[in-house]
C-alpha cells in the first residue's frame, strides 16, 4: 500500500541512526489508537516521498523492528558520501552479548556490598579559608573567514559583497560568509532532497536580508542583496555529483587588485577576441589543457594581437552584460521569503511559522538551524566562539 505523500502531520517524528543510509531520508510517525499502533513510514526515494502505514498490535512490537529493517534495506539507496559507512550494522543490547555462563561469572565476582568509608572526610586544618576564585569559562574561537574564501569569481557579484562589508565588524563578515558557505553554496547536501536544498537557499537569502536590515544603510543594502540573490541563483542551478556533493558554475581561480577586489578574468576577454578574429588559433587552444592552454593564449596575445584585444573591448563588455543578465534570470525558492527582519526575535519566529507551512520539508533539519541562530550572541545569527565551563 503506497501513495504519493504531499504533506504529513505526524504526532511523533524520529530519525533512526544508521550507517550506509541517509538517516534524514527515513522517518516514522506513531499514532496510538486503543490496542493498535499505526506506524507510518515516510520514505524518500530520490525526489519522491512515499507513505506506508503498518498496523501492529502492542504485544508484537518486535515484528515492527524487523519490518522497519526490511523496508529500509529494500527501498533506501546507500549514501556514498563521507557521512556514511558502507555497511549497516544492527545494534545489539549489551545484555544479549553475554552468555548465561559469562553473566553468572561476572555476578559472582562483583561485590554484593559496596566499600564505604567508615569515617567521614574531614577538612584539613591547613586548608585555606579564603573563598574560591570565580570560575571562568574556556573560550575557543574558530579561524576567521576572509573575503576570498567563498567567492564565486564573478567580479560584479563578489565586489558588491566586499564593498558592502568594508568597514563592518568581523562578526558581520563571519555571518555573511558563513551563510554563503553553508546555505547558498554548500559543498555537501547529505540527506537533503531537492526541495530541502532549494529551501535552504531561500533561508540563506532571508538571513542575508536580516543582516542587511540590521547592520547596513539603504544604499549599501540594495547592491548587497542583489549580489546575494545572484549567488543564490548560482547555488540553485548547481548540479549534484553522486548522491551528496554539489558542483556550481563558479570560477576556481581569480585575481585581485591592490584594493582586495576581484578582477574580471582577462583570459576570458582574450579568448573572446581569439574566437572572433582568429578561429584557427581558437580551435588549437581548445585542443590544449591546463598550463599549456594558458601559455598558448598568452603567446598568441604577445605576438601582435594586442590591437585585437583593444578593438573588441566594447563587444566584450556587451557580452559580459548578457552573461550577467542570463545569470540573474533564474527563479529562487520562496519558502522563507518575506520574513519579519525588524529584530532577531521576530525573525526567528517568522522562520518557524513559514517552516510549519512547508509540510514537505525536513522540519528537524531546519529547526536545528533556527536553534543555532537563536544561540548566537546579540543580533548575530552565527558565532565562531565556543564557551565551555569547567566543573567545580
228: confidence class by pLDDT, cuts 50, 70, 90: very high
pLDDT on residue 96: 77
Cα 117 from Cα 187, distance rounded (Å): 58
pLDDT digits (tens, 9 = 90+) for 289-348: 877 888 898 889 888 888 888 888 899 999 888 988 888 888 899 999 999 999 999 999
Q: Does residue 159 surpass a pLDDT of 80? A: yes
pLDDT digits (tens, 9 = 90+) for 69-87: 454 444 344 566 666 655 5
357: confidence class by pLDDT, cuts 50, 70, 90: confident
| Higher-confidence position of 235 and 392 | 235
Measured CA distances, 178 to 23, 162, 229, 351 (Å): 25, 14, 15, 18
Four-CA torsion 283, 288, 290, 293, nearest 10 degrees = -50
pLDDT on residue 198: 94
Residue 351 near residue 206 (C-beta atoms within 8 A): yes
The three-state secondary structure class of 49 is strand
| Higher-confidence position of 137 and 53 | 137
- The top-scoring range by mean pLDDT among 186-190, 211-215, 363-367 is 211-215
Q: Does residue 204 surpass a pLDDT of 80? A: yes
Q: Across residues 58-75, what is the average pLDDT?
A: 46
Among the listed residues 46, 8, 45, 44, the one whose alpha carbon sits nearest the alpha carbon of residue 29: 8
- Lookup result for grid cell 544561540: 375
90: confidence class by pLDDT, cuts 50, 70, 90: low
Cα 163 from Cα 262, distance rounded (Å): 11
pLDDT on residue 15: 38
The whole-chain average pLDDT of the chain stands at: 76
Q: Which residues pair with 36 in a beta bridge?
A: 33, 57
First to last CA, the chain: 57
pLDDT digits (tens, 9 = 90+) for 167-191: 998 889 999 999 999 999 998 898 8
Among 130-134, 244-248, 306-310, 312-316, which is the least confidently predicted range? 130-134
Residue 391 near residue 138 (C-beta atoms within 8 A): no
Amino acid at each position: 500500500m503506497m501513495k504519493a505523500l504531499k504533506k504529513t502531520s505526524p504526532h511523533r517524528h524520529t530519525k533512526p541512526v544508521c550507517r550506509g543510509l541517509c538517516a534524514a531520508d527515513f522517518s516514522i510517525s506513531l499514532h496510538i489508537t486503543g490496542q493498535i499502533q499505526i506506524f507510518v513510514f515516510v520514505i524518500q526515494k530520490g525526489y519522491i516521498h512515499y507513505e506506508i502505514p503498518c498496523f501492529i498490535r502492542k504485544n508484537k512490537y518486535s515484528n515492527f523492528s524487523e519490518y522497519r529493517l526490511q523496508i529500509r534495506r529494500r527501498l533506501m539507496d546507500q549514501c556514498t558520501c563521507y557521512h556514511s559507512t558502507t555497511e549497516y550494522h544492527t545494534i545489539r543490547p549489551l545484555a544479549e552479548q553475554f552468555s548465561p555462563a559469562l553473566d553468572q561469572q561476572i555476578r559472582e565476582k562483583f561485590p554484593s556490598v559496596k566499600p564505604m568509608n567508615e569515617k567521614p572526610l574531614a577538612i584539613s586544618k591547613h586548608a585555606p579559608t579564603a573563598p574560591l576564585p570565580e570560575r571562568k569559562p574556556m573560550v575557543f574561537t574558530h579561524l576567521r573567514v576572509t573575503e576570498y574564501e567563498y567567492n564565486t569569481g564573478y567580479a560584479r557579484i563578489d565586489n558588491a559583497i566586499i564593498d558592502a562589508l568594508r568597514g563592518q565588524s568581523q562578526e558581520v563578515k563571519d555571518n555573511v560568509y558563513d551563510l554563503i558557505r553553508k546555505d547558498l553554496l554548500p559543498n555537501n547536501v547529505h540527506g537533503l532532497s531537492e526541495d530541502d536544498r532549494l529551501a535552504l537557499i531561500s533561508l540563506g537569502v532571508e538571513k542575508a536580508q536580516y543582516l542587511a536590515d540590521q547592520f547596513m544603510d539603504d544604499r549599501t543594502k540594495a547592491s548587497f542583496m542583489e549580489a546575494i540573490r545572484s549567488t543564490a541563483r548560482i547555488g540553485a542551478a548547481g548540479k549534484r555529483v553522486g548522491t551528496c556533493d554539489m558542483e556550481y558554475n563558479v570560477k576556481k581561480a581569480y585575481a585581485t587588485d591592490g584594493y582586495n577586489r576581484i578582477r574580471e578574468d582577462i583570459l576570458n576577454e582574450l579568448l573572446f577576441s581569439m574566437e572572433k578574429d582568429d578561429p584557427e588559433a581558437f580551435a588549437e587552444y581548445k585542443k590544449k589543457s591546463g598550463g599549456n592552454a594558458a601559455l598558448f593564449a598568452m603567446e598568441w596575445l604577445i605576438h601582435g594581437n594586442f590591437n585585437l584585444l583593444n578593438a573588441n573591448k566594447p563587444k566584450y563588455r556587451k557580452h559580459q552584460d548578457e552573461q550577467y543578465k542570463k545569470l540573474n534570470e533564474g527563479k529562487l525558492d520562496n519558502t522563507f521569503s518575506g520574513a519579519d527582519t525588524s529584530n532577531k526575535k521576530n525573525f526567528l519566529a517568522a522562520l518557524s511559522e513559514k517552516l510549519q507551512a512547508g509540510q514537505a520539508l525536513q522540519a528537524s533539519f531546519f529547526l536545528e538551524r533556527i536553534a543555532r541562530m537563536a544561540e548566537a550572541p546579540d543580533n548575530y545569527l552565527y558565532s565562531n566562539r565556543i564557551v565551555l565551563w569547567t566543573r567545580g
